[in-house]
Amino acid sequence: MRGLVRLFCHAAMAGMAFAAPANPSWSGQASIEAWHEPELDAGFRLLYELKLDEARAHFAAWDKSHSEDPLGSASEAASYLFEECYRQGILTSEYFTDEKRFLGKNALKPDQALRARFFSSVQRAQGLAQTRLKKDPDDANALFAMTLSVGMQADYASLVDKHQLESLRMISQADEYAKKLLAVAPDAADAYFILGAVNYIIGSLPWHQRFLLGLKRIHGDKRGGIRQLEIAAARGHYLRPFSKIFLALAALREKKIQLARTQLAELAAEFPQNPLFVLELAKLSGRVSASCAPPLHLQWPPDNATLFASVLVTPMQHQSFCNNPRRVRT
């Protein structure tokens, strides 16, 4: 796979297909039916709490009772991408502020089982979505599923495979679906995450790469990308926390410390059982070394988030955790 323009968990292409308005209208003609599904809401909350098996159980249950709706499979795909990004340490300040890692060309080594499940879920979601779109080209659920699934493929190509050309091709497809989605459902603010992330990434590339992309009428805009991410972080639904993560890390790259602090504090308060948010906030506050990586490969019981926050008290404890996090136990 050849990938997205170096990003993750993307999209807007000025001069290519769609530029998201800075002040979009929220009085849409249509809405996404699954916006108010308790099963999906619960699944995404568990996802952001890193309770991945429980999240997938909710997605599978919803999918079973909505077998013709693509959002169940798209949600499962999101869980596999989120897990791979967490496993690889992509959703950390170390990754985002390291130019060689963030914009580099070296492919990562994915978990092959996660990879297979991710692409299987993506393919099923797109198959169901295309079937619905043949019947109704304005089907908001199907357009959202296509925007999300194609955008995630681009993310995987960019973040994991580091395949820029293939990613760019998929970005253009996701861009078209996002444009159609927002035309029929302007309140579908999750689309702005797919758009804003890549817009930011493309705008972050070295000037010579941006020049070459510009010859193909592909342009990025870091400021525009951040504005789009802010829309998704404030008004998104399923991807709102994901948008806040990306916005916080992008803000750190841009030295917008207060914006990053606000997003991370809100995430840590909303999802206290996710150690990633607590750790990033602690690093930003100077309570742990910036070189202290998150415990990516540990199994965190529900009560360990409180424990993790409590151990960030003294420099000796901080260093103990960073040197050997398995010793940090009650």
pLDDT (tens digit per residue) in 173-203 = 887 898 899 999 988 999 888 788 777 877 7
How confident is the model over 245-258, as pLDDT tens digits?
Answer: 989 988 988 889 99
Distance CA 167, CA 296 (A): 26
Identify the band that residue 132 occupies on the pLDDT scale cut at 50, 70 and 90: very high
The pair of structure tokens assigned to 159 is 């973040």
pLDDT at 158: 76
* Of the listed ranges 94-103, 186-195, 299-308, the one predicted with least confidence: 299-308
Average pLDDT over residues 50-64: 94
Cβ neighbour number for residue 81 with a 10 Å cutoff:
26
Looking at residue 327, what DSSP letter applies?
G
pLDDT at 225: 87
pLDDT at 107: 73
On whether the pTM is more than 0.85, the answer is: no
Using an 8 Å Cβ cutoff, are 39 and 197 in contact?
A: no
The pair of structure tokens assigned to 142 is 């199907």
Distance CA 219, CA 274 (A): 35
How confident is the model over 6-55, as pLDDT tens digits?
Answer: 333 333 332 233 333 334 443 445 556 666 788 999 999 999 999 999 99
